[in-house]
Amino acid sequence: MSLDMLDPQVRDGINLGGLEQSLGFLLRVSQLKVFDHFFEKLGHIGLKPGEYSVLWVISHNPGIRQGQLAQSLAIKNAHMTKLIRSFEVYGFIERRIPEEDRRSVELSLTEQGEAFVARHKPDFFGYIQSLDSPLDEGETRELIRLLAKFSGISRESVQ
């Protein structure tokens, strides 16, 4: 047991003054840890988790409107426009303007896009397993449950 373990606010000789208990700070640091691990393991694929998730959701909701997609992933419309265009150019996504509402855009995957999603599903949903986490399995499940509830993703948030 080292000395600085006696002082809850000191880390690596730096006094964070209670920042260690701040939800915002902890979320940021945790996300960085996950992201760093992702890049180490899967950086070579060339898609980041957020980009894969765009393909993933289109795959599960063929014909989804671009705005709905953006909203469901909390990506801004302006940014989504760029993502969709580059996927279209790359040949993973098809855009269709429906006659019923010609303002909107309906998205679906090309055969190539579907193949990519299927091939890399184990990567994007499995990399987290290879992260050597200080949490045991039960704690990890609880963390996920609490985050889902907090963020309003979970049904638990419904009365």
50 binds DNA (CB under 7 A): yes
8-state DSSP, 102: T
| Residue reference for tokens 């894969």 | 52
- What is the chain's percent helix, strand, coil content, to nearest 5? 65, 10, 25
Which residues, 120 to 149, sit near DNA by CB under 7 A? none
**Binding-site ranges for a second copy (CB under 8 A):** 2, 5, 8-9, 11-35, 38, 49-50, 53, 56-57, 59-61, 64, 68-69, 71-72, 74, 125, 128, 133-135, 139-140, 142-144, 146-158
Which one among 11, 76, 96, 149 touches DNA, defined by CB under 7 A?
76
The residues, ordered by sequence, that sit 6+ positions from 25 with a Cβ below 8 Å of its Cβ are 19
The site partner of 16 among a second copy, DNA, none (C-beta below 5 to 8 Å per kind) is a second copy
> Which sign, positive or negative, has the C-alpha torsion 78, 79, 85, 91?
negative
Q: What's the one-letter identity of residue 84?
A: I
The Cα 69–Cα 67 span in angstroms is 5
Residue 107's φ and ψ, nearest 5 degrees, are: -115, 145
Q: Which is nearer to DNA, 49 or 140 (CB)?
A: 49
Among 15, 29, 90, 101, binds DNA (CB under 7 A): 101
Point out which residues bind DNA (CB under 7 A).
48, 50, 65-68, 70, 75-82, 84-85, 95, 100-105
